Amino acid sequence: MTQHCHYLSQDREVEIFEHAANNNLPVMIKGPTGCGKTRFVEYMAQKLNRAIYTIACHDDLTATDLVGRHLIGAQGTFWQDGPLTRAVREGGICYLDEVVEARKDTTVVLHPLADHRRILPIERTGEVLNAHPDFMLVISYNPGYQNMLKGLKPSTRQRFVGLTFDYPEPQHEVVIICQESGIDKSLATQLVSLAQALRRLTDHDLEEAASTRLLIYTALMIKSGLEIKQACYACLAQPLTDDSQTQQAIERLIDASF
């Protein structure tokens, strides 16, 4: 189970998630990286008193990794449940982060779990599991940054209740940064203003905007004694781009802010 975690609500997402959970419906959360999707799911797991099984998806992740596999031990072969199967058997929230990264064969196992059937057929053992009443499937992805081919198919999307996340409103982001890093409000406000300026750059120059996560990293480094501009260079300018001209543009914005 997750440690006690803070989550500052942005809109009606807590209420919507609770309704989905009460109706045994799966949820998909769309939004850019580092904007609070994972934190929200961890918070909801805590609020609903359910275990959470988080799976960070990547392009080698297959249905077998989710469902389980036969392993060879001292006493011969034995079956080991994957994280999805454990959540289905024991109850809990199975959270697939960046689901569009996973191999396409994963949708085959997700579909019957995501609709009214709530079953997980395990091909290799012949079992068909009925999901525990507390089982809930949650997926997240970033519709912005993959190419269209990597998006979710409509037949998958239409099995989920959807929520769209974005970076928190400035006054919320200030509170979050203070809470997560311990820096004072005036400095957090300056960092958020800088982030807003950086986010305006994004459309033409950057693949991804400055996330709340990066602002928290910056704030933590400042809190531990690093000079403000150095923290901004290292935690904002460097991670946002590899292009030296864009990096200089970001550094100029940093210099103008502090």
| Chain residues in the site for ligand ADP (CB under 6 A) | 6-8, 31, 33-39, 168, 176, 180, 212-213, 216
Contacts of 6 (CB under 8 A, 6+ apart): 43, 179, 180
Q: How far is the CB of 1 from ligand ADP (least distance, A)?
A: 17
Q: How far is the CB of 255 from ligand ADP (least distance, A)?
A: 26
Residue 33: both structure tokens together:
């990286």
Dist. CA 43–CA 3, nearest whole Å: 9
Nearer to ligand ADP, 181 or 241 (CB): 181
Q: How far is the CB of 248 from ligand ADP (least distance, A)?
A: 27
Q: How far is the CB of 175 from ligand ADP (least distance, A)?
A: 8
Dist. CA 51–CA 53, nearest whole Å: 7
CA-closest candidate to residue 4, choices 179, 230, 202: 179
For the packed helices 185-205 and 244-257, what is the interaxial angle rounded to 10 degrees? 150
| Alpha-carbon torsion (125, 128, 134, 138), positive or negative | positive
Nearer to ligand ADP, 6 or 70 (CB): 6
Residue 112: both structure tokens together:
């019957």
* Residue 196 to residues 58, 171, 210, 245, Cα–Cα distance (Å): 30, 12, 8, 20
Nearer to ligand ADP, 3 or 23 (CB): 3
Q: How far is the CB of 41 from ligand ADP (least distance, A)?
A: 8
Nearer to ligand ADP, 80 or 193 (CB): 193
Dist. CA 37–CA 42, nearest whole Å: 9
Nearer to ligand ADP, 7 or 246 (CB): 7
Which residue has the closest beta carbon to ligand ADP?
A: 36
